[in-house]
Amino acid sequence: MSTAQAISQDEAKRRAAARAAEFVRPGMRLGLGTGSTAAFFVDILGGMVRDGLDVVGVPTSERTRAQAASLGVRLSTLDETPELDLTVDGADEFDAKLRLIKGGGGALLREKIVAAASARMIVITDASKQVDTLGKFPLPVEVDRFGLESTRRHVASAVARLGLAGAPTLRTAADGHPFVTDGGHCILDCGLGRIPDPEALAAALVAIPGVVEHGLFIGLASIVVIADAAGVRTIGEAA
């Protein structure tokens, strides 16, 4: 019988964030992710900055920008700081090949741009996000508002051509209006159940003109830090 004490999902997220903070070095240029797990990391980073650490952060959303600024983290943009040392971000799902689904919080476009500008991306998660096959979490696809219904149909056709089922659904905000991203776009959530070939789906989606970006992050994560009651473990490059 395991002697591990149960921990809450939030506590698992905090522990994963704390492990990622051990990778931070003075002078680093950091990408700051979005979501509740990334927020734990930004909180911890704020404490490190208060204790004298000098780093610069590029936030992946206005939400994260506000949080980091309130904690005194020095901020920059990719225009001023186009190359980053490390990005720390959460994920909605990941598999053993470090492929991710992201965008549950609606920040996938900036998250992907920032991750692509980083030498390393560390993903921080609780253990519930690990899957054998991506797709249980509805795949967010960020689309331009112009031609939305036409793009939605193209996305549905692309999905169907790959033998996948699941109608793309326009994400709405709490007020019932379409959710609008920091970049002014909408999101289609595709509840596919299983994505056996994420690379093929990614290629099909980027070929659609109205698609701005999709939430499949392939070849971007270097390490996934996973926390649960049993402890904190990593997959990916040797820590």
End-to-end CA distance of the chain: 29
Active-site choice (111, 142, 149, 213): 111
Binds ligand 5RP (CB under 6 A): choice among 17, 20, 32, 35? 35
Count Cβ neighbours within 10 Å for each residue of 121-153 and write b for 16 or more, e otherwise: bbbbbbeebbbeebbbbbbbbbbeeeebeebbe
Cβ-contact 189, 195 below 8 angstroms = no
Structure tokens at 128: 């519930």
Interface with ligand 5RP, residue 138, by CB under 6 A: no
Interface with ligand 5RP, residue 190, by CB under 6 A: no
Interface with ligand 5RP, residue 64, by CB under 6 A: no
The span from the CA of 185 to the CA of 166, in Å, is: 21
Identity of the residue, 153 or 234, whose beta carbon is nearer to ligand 5RP in the bound complex: 234
Question: Footprint of ligand 5RP on residues 102-121 (CB under 6 A)?
Answer: 102-108, 111
Taking alpha carbons only, the member of 200, 231, 237 closest to residue 216 is: 200
111 counts as catalytic: yes
Binds ligand 5RP (CB under 6 A): choice among 31, 44, 64, 92? 92
Identity of the residue, 10 or 54, whose beta carbon is nearer to ligand 5RP in the bound complex: 10
Give the residues lining the site for ligand 5RP (CB under 6 A).
Answer: 33-38, 89-92, 102-108, 111
